Amino acid sequence: MTEALRAKYEHVFRVLNETYGRPVWRSHGPPLDELVATILSQATADVNTERAYAELTTRFPTWEAVRDAPPEAVVAAIRSAGLSNTKGPRIQNALRHIERERGELSLDFLGDLPLEEAMAWLTRIEGVGPKTAAIVLLFSLGRPAFPVDTHVHRVSGRLGLIPPKTNAVKAHPLLESLGAPETYYPMHINLIRHGREICRARAPQCHICPLQDVCDYYQSFVWRAADG
């Protein structure tokens, strides 16, 4: 079964690369910047995240300044990201946590830790789950972690790369086990793109999808139609 899943992952990886191009990893910047940006991105669109991040870093030129600012000033700066009353304190708490544990505001040391330790270190920060931790490690540091966001979770579930009803937390190690580490970044990016453009949450465009032949969700419809 695992071999069959690995073969399916390989097939999906190849077809998505042919369809959308193979994304090439480049660092998104220092891991602390990525952590703040990822907290801002929770439950909002990229454009709102970018606006809030730009406003925050314009009003406060250093992370020390963000950490020490009045909470309401941080909340006001990031309002465009939504849920600012939650995200503002979450960012300030994360900065205080990092300072307390490391004596400085930097996460660069995560590049030298074994991956599991780096994941564990990040997820001890309140409000930082496996998805946020994996994004920081993969996007900023190029570490082999596989972030599972809502699109990756939905598309990989419909395809049958993960068993039905697998939650997003359990999907992380399952997807990591199916492909080589160098596939994680392009696969993550292309699964998101596929989820936004074709395998949409409410109305998947199966009739134009190049993955029909390997998709459990689609094949179940074909069988039901043939039965009925």
Alpha-carbon gap, residue 116 to 208, rounded angstroms = 39
Catalytic residue flag (residue 131): yes
Helix axes 84-102, 31-41, angle to 10 degrees: 160
The verdict on 215 binding ligand SF4 (CB under 6 A) reads yes
Catalytic residue among 8, 87, 131, 170: 131
Alpha-carbon gap, residue 27 to 62, rounded angstroms = 20
**Least distance in Å: CB of 200 to ligand SF4?**
8
Among 159, 161, 175, 178, binds ligand SF4 (CB under 6 A): 159
Q: What is the SS3 assignment for 151-191?
A: HHHHHHHHHCCCCCCCCHHHHHHHHHHHCCHHHHHHHHHHH
Residues 183-202, one symbol each (x = binds ligand SF4 by CB under 6 A, - = not), give: ---------------xx---
Return the range that interacts with ligand SF4 (CB under 6 A); candidates 60-68, 119-127, 141-149, 205-213.
205-213
The verdict on 94 binding ligand SF4 (CB under 6 A) reads no
Q: What is the CA radius of gyration of the chain?
A: 19
The verdict on 9 binding ligand SF4 (CB under 6 A) reads no
In Å, what is the CA distance from 120 to each residue of 30, 117, 223?
A: 19, 5, 43
Alpha-carbon gap, residue 223 to 44, rounded angstroms = 37
**Least distance in Å: CB of 62 to ligand SF4?**
44
Among 32, 136, 137, 209, binds ligand SF4 (CB under 6 A): 209
Among 158, 172, 188, 193, binds ligand SF4 (CB under 6 A): 158
Containing 88, the helix (H) or strand (E) segment is helix 84-102
The verdict on 157 binding ligand SF4 (CB under 6 A) reads no
The verdict on 105 binding ligand SF4 (CB under 6 A) reads no
By beta-carbon proximity to ligand SF4, the closer residue of 153 and 158 is: 158
Among 204, 220, 223, 226, binds ligand SF4 (CB under 6 A): 204
Among positions 120-149, residues that touch ligand SF4 (CB under 6 A) are none
Name every residue whose Cβ is closer than 8 Å to that of residue 61 and which is 6 or more positions away in sequence: none
For 44, which DSSP code? S
- Catalytically active residues are 131
For ligand SF4, the binding residues (CB under 6 A) are 155, 158-159, 198-199, 204-206, 209, 211-212, 215, 217-218
